[in-house]
Amino acid sequence: MRTATTPWALGDYDRFARALVWELGAELVAACRIGPGQRVLDVAAGTGNVALRAAAAGAHVVASDMTPESLATGDRRAREAGVALESVVADAQALPFADASFDVVTSAFGAIFAPDHAAVAGELLRVCRPGGTIGMVNFTPEGNAAGFFGALAPYAPPPPPGAGLPLAWGDEGHVRALLGPGAASLRLTRRTYVERHAGGAEGYAAFVTETFGPVIAMREAAADPAALDRDLLAFATAAKTGPPRGPAEIPYEYLLVLAERA
């Protein structure tokens, strides 16, 4: 396997995110009512989906992620856009920030992949000031994300002992148990976005295989990469809406989490 700090550094995550999930960064910034003068932490920020939008809204933004390569891309994108970001390599389970140091703490399809859910929730609450906002966008276990990750499961490395499932962050009861004790209020709303590719199911599967680092890592480690390709294409074919030979439009359900820190 090629050298990379994490599997997310393989491929081209910025291209993947901008093509498929970029709209959700603006949505989370709007939902959290991020504006001028606020201090914002984006956890598992990737290449800046949320962080760039928050900075453009006038906030002072810290983007944290386990993958330095993603943060470097976010920094470059920030310079191109004429906004300022502070980037910090950090684990969502042990954030290197003082208690109550942010007005808003966000994560879009990021912190859910950390194995210790309780530790992540504790850190999100700890670094958010009382009365501040914690906002998340999390895949639900009932939507097409279950099919996507299910297709990849036979090729994924074993999780650490006791690791929580990423899609559990999209279950309302699980989120209430994690964030509810530290929140004055908790609003949970299921929504749907659509991932699109003009090349149909085949084009969608090929694009994911080319750009999404974790899939690239799985293929490089797989005894039979062609089997992974077939399973991913089967998912895309079954999940896409519209004519069989038309563009791929795959709806994904997610949970929008808005918590007010107690």
Condensed to tens digits (0 to 9), the pLDDT of residues 73-89 reads: 999 999 999 999 999 99
CB 219 within 8 A of CB 155: yes
Quick: pLDDT tens for 135-155.
999 999 999 999 999 999 999
Place of tokens 């498929």: 20
* Cβ-proximal residues to 76 (8 Å cutoff; 6+ apart), any chain: none
| pLDDT higher than 60, residue 1 | no
- Domain range annotation of the chain: 7-261
pLDDT, tens only, 207-234 = 999 999 999 999 999 999 999 999 999 9
CATH topology of domain 7-261: Rossmann fold (3.40.50)
> Three-state SS for 57?
coil
Q: What is the pTM of this model?
A: 0.97
